[in-house]
Amino acid sequence: MKEHETQEHPSSAPAEGDGRMEEGSDPPEEPDQRRQERHTPGLPHEEQIRLVFLGLALLALLVGFLLDRFTGAILPLFSTMVVAYVGYRRLDAWLDRHR
């Protein structure tokens, strides 16, 4: 009786086996692709430096604004804006030169 069942569905058995082989070969490729995506950094090192500098410049501008509000002198805010702008331009030129 078992022979009759195997003879009855010979065409479906190899198709299932082939499908399993193809499915079995795909999963090893997918984890490799996932590993590559995990190892790629989000931003290049130069862009990270720029973002850190911009964050520090914004913090300095906030301090300059607070000094302006409490002391009434515009000089700290103005000098902070100038130093942050010129400093970022110089950092940007330096990073472009070392690329």
Q: Residues 3-7: what's their mean pLDDT? A: 59
Q: Which of 52, 54, 45 lies closest to 89 in space, CA to CA? A: 54
Q: What is the pLDDT of residue 58?
A: 96
Q: For residue 72, is it left (φ>0), alpha (ψ between -120 and 50) or beta?
A: left
pLDDT in tens, 26-72: 555 555 555 555 556 688 999 999 999 999 999 999 999 999 999 99
Share of the chain above pLDDT 70, in %: 59
Quick check: helix, strand or coil at residue 44? coil
The residue extents of the domains of the chain are 2-39, 45-97
